Chain A
């Protein structure tokens, strides 16, 4: 339903848009990972993105975070900031946090240090050389440790954490950045059922404070989030709406057998 999508984009007031992709195309050696994709996410919204393998979900995140430059089209953040002109660090500083598909934490640093690096604050080389951890900042880290349930593992090297714990630590690091927009790439991949439940709770608690975009395969998880769903297929938006709505869409059923 790309047309419907465009009309949503047009109808949302510019200042209410958190993220607006306009006709983004990315190709790798002739293969179009994103094909004239347009998408709008409103401020404070929780959005799930699903789609079969190769639908362009990860590439979409790459474009938003500045890792990949689109061949054409533009991506706007918080109204009118053009993300396609900025590099990763600048985009991160703007307030976009990203969790990778594979958990990426600093394995040789302790859990505490991982969160300390994520802490919002000056990022320059000189500033970090002379930086000191102020007591309120330490308290914020402690609070986050509690929130992600890792308070008793603070001094452990992150490499020693379990897979689920690493996922949480990574989400914790994102939250330390105090981002406006959170991009979560398969946050529950490889988690146990109990961990998945916990994560769903955590993500739901974020909605409202942050705009959150979740890319997931796990339909139970998507259902648990209960958010608006966008279905990607071959680099385009195939359908958009509630989970029940898209699961009943015959085109979605055809390309993507939902579980």
Chain B
């Protein structure tokens, strides 16, 4: 066994691999089966609308993983991850727009409807190439990655840390939102990109396509999980944890704090882009509201609820909070914001390590759960 495959095999222990495989296969198989194999009207049959909804949660889980890598491990609380998610989404949206072809309202062979409507005569240069799927996929990763790299390079090199960094990432996504709202940016302004028809020749509305997208999302989540696991179990992962504890010591040991943080931030942004790209065909629209600072900060609470610094926790948190959101916004819409607000307050006050931490405490003995939490980790976040 080469050292690399050895390390890959050691990402999880035997029980871990078994659980991982079981959950991944179950998630990828059960949903399609419940949706297609059971007859309509069967109590266990999954209604059609549930498939893209669950797919959406899976995308959110990837986004949560991305933020956890950067916040939970490297200590960078980004309040602008929604921007990377949305950029990935826009890249996919641009591909889907180009696939519409002459089926748009105005029937223009090249220009999307909104450009015809705005009286544009030709495609802007930055829209070139998005008719090719591989190019769009590349951009899904490269665009958020490049933005994160440049932004992160400037910020980390100047040692902008803690809340300062959080605030300027928030300003970043806010500025992008203002920009994307403008028609002359060429991304459909207010309405964003929508009315998609086909993805790789498959009708995006068809049930089979939706199941395909769902399964693809589950696979992407599984791969993202393994990739994050690879990073956090590496020596680089330990450097990240170390710089959260004592940044200057890491420097005096000769590590470049800038490059370690930059790596975490950029990789995280790329993952967020992938999540966004899978999200867009399933919900059928991408618009500038995805850039809203409130969206980005909500991601932080998914991670916090599940338990930051644990990959499983981030995934779990994304699912739980979003299930609650879907249910509450349907059952009692005015309660949702109260609930979300209470969640932010409650988790930070009473559950600083999230549900994963709680599980750990229970394992360590019930008595420990009532002990005051040591604040050491948090105190050094600044």
- Chains A and B share a contact (CB less than 8 Å): yes
6 A-B pairs within 8 Å (CB atoms) are namely A105-B246, A106-B249, A116-B235, A117-B250, A123-B254, A128-B239
CA distance A118 to B263 in the complex (A): 20
CB distance from B161 to the nearest CB of A (A): 15
Q: Is there a chain A Cβ closer than 8 Å to B260's Cβ?
A: yes
Q: Is the CB of B241 within 8 A of A128?
A: no
3 A-B pairs closest in CB distance:
A92-B254, A88-B251, A128-B236
- Which residue of the partner chain B has the closest CB to A99? B252
- Which residue of the partner chain B has the closest CB to A90? B254
Q: Is there a chain B Cβ closer than 8 Å to A107's Cβ?
A: yes
On whether A108 and B255 interact (CB within 8 A), knowing A116-B235, A129-B234, A131-B234, the answer reads no
- Which residue of the partner chain A has the closest CB to B254? A92
A-to-B contact residues, CB < 8 Å? 65, 67, 87-90, 92-93, 97-98, 100, 104-109, 113-114, 116-118, 123-125, 128-133, 159, 173, 177
On whether A129 and B245 interact (CB within 8 A), knowing A93-B254, A123-B256, the answer reads no
Q: Is the CB of B263 within 8 A of A125?
A: yes
On whether A125 and B253 interact (CB within 8 A), knowing A105-B246, A109-B245, the answer reads no
A100, A113, A177: the one within 8 Å of B253 (CB): A177
CB distance from B285 to the nearest CB of A (A): 37
CB distance from A115 to the nearest CB of B (A): 11
On whether A125 and B259 interact (CB within 8 A), knowing A88-B251, A100-B249, A173-B253, the answer reads yes
Residues of A within 8 A of B231 (CB): 129
Q: Is there a chain A Cβ closer than 8 Å to B257's Cβ?
A: yes
On whether A89 and B234 interact (CB within 8 A), knowing A128-B239, A132-B3, the answer reads no
On whether A104 and B246 interact (CB within 8 A), knowing A117-B235, A125-B260, the answer reads yes
B7, B241, B249: the one within 8 Å of A104 (CB): B249
Q: Is the CB of B248 within 8 A of A88?
A: yes
List residues of B (221-253) whose CB comes within 8 Å of A's CBs: 230-231, 234-236, 238-239, 241-242, 244-246, 248-253
Q: Is the CB of A108 within 8 A of B244?
A: yes
- Count CB-based A-B contacts (< 8 Å): 92
Residues of A within 8 A of B255 (CB): 89, 117, 123, 128
Residues of A within 8 A of B236 (CB): 125, 128-129, 131
CB distance from B270 to the nearest CB of A (A): 14
B4, B238, B252: the one within 8 Å of A97 (CB): B252
CA distance A97 to B241 in the complex (A): 21
Q: Is the CB of B238 within 8 A of A67?
A: no
Residues of A within 8 A of B241 (CB): 106, 108-109
Residues of B within 8 A of A130 (CB): 4, 234
On whether A107 and B234 interact (CB within 8 A), knowing A92-B253, A118-B253, A125-B263, the answer reads no
Residues of B within 8 A of A177 (CB): 253-254
CA distance A124 to B262 in the complex (A): 12
Residues of A within 8 A of B377 (CB): 107-108
B246, B257, B259: the one within 8 Å of A124 (CB): B259
Q: Is the CB of A106 within 8 A of B242?
A: yes
Q: Is the CB of B234 within 8 A of A109?
A: no
Residues of A within 8 A of B376 (CB): 107-108, 159
B3, B234, B244, B248: the one within 8 Å of A67 (CB): B248
A89, A107, A113, A159: the one within 8 Å of B254 (CB): A89
On whether A117 and B257 interact (CB within 8 A), knowing A106-B245, A108-B245, A108-B377, the answer reads no
Q: Is the CB of A117 within 8 A of B238?
A: yes
Q: Is the CB of B238 within 8 A of A113?
A: yes
CA distance A129 to B262 in the complex (A): 13
